[in-house]
Amino acid sequence: MTTRTFTNRLTRALRERALSLVDTGRPEGLVFLGAAAGTEIAKATGFGPLEKVCKPVIAPSALVVALRDGELGAVDTALLSATGAAYTVGDVILMLGGGHASRSVARLASGAAAFGVGHVALGALMLRSGIRPKALQMSFHGAVAGTVGGMLLREDRGNWPLATYGGMLAALSALATSVDHGRAPSASVLAVGGPVFLLSDGLILARRKVAGGSLAARALDVGVIDTYATATLLLLTGTAAAARSARGR
């Protein structure tokens, strides 16, 4: 399959995923959109109570979308569910600790640890589904992780947990972008989900440098939610599609 063909297939898969979210016959998609939109509004306006209601619903609703796309095996379901649960725990830890503006390395490290558990579970499911990392993707993501990790450590040696987490997320993104062209078309969205999750966490690092309450801070907060919700949906649904494709072989 040529790169152009894969790009066309990816574009169709993304469009179909977007349309599925507004299908009134599948309310979990509307719940996901509502949770993401509510969190964006909360971040834009600084209305904390709305965020506490909406943000913890993003990952679980994305998980339900992925599970309702089709039947999965017991182990696949367990790994996917572990990812959704870990992401939700990470969301709550960060949300209750000052959100994206938190400068507490301990708080960020705790949230990163929870997300790390989810990344490991999701990566295990990708490997179980037959996805294997490609040299080009590993090299590129390794360079990104090394650059960001070096910057964090130069800032403060105590940032090593964040640098380690960055390496873990980069490895997951490298695996996701290595999705084979022969997989189910709906699995191709992994090629977008991994990099967008990297972008989301990069925006969190940028947000720590911006004064709270400013227009730039609000814009970054909304950007983090936009990219995080998108990445979570694409990673969960794309990995589930890859798992189904592997079972059908």
Residue 51 has pLDDT above 80, yes or no: yes
> Which residues, in sequence order, are CB contacts of 15 under 8 Å at separation 6+?
none
**Rounded-to-integer distance, Cα 141 and Cα 74, Å:** 31
Confidence band, pLDDT 50/70/90 cuts, at residue 1? low
Mean pLDDT of the region 109-131: 95
What was the pLDDT predicted at 243? 94
Residue 132: exposure state from Cβ atoms within 10 A (0-12, 13-18, ≥19) = exposed
Mean pLDDT, the chain, whole residue set:
91
What was the pLDDT predicted at 214? 83
What was the pLDDT predicted at 206? 87
* Rg over CA atoms, the chain: 17
Confidence band, pLDDT 50/70/90 cuts, at residue 102? low
**Rounded-to-integer distance, Cα 247 and Cα 249, Å:** 6
> And the tokens for 53?
């209601």
pTM above 0.75, yes or no: yes
What was the pLDDT predicted at 99? 61
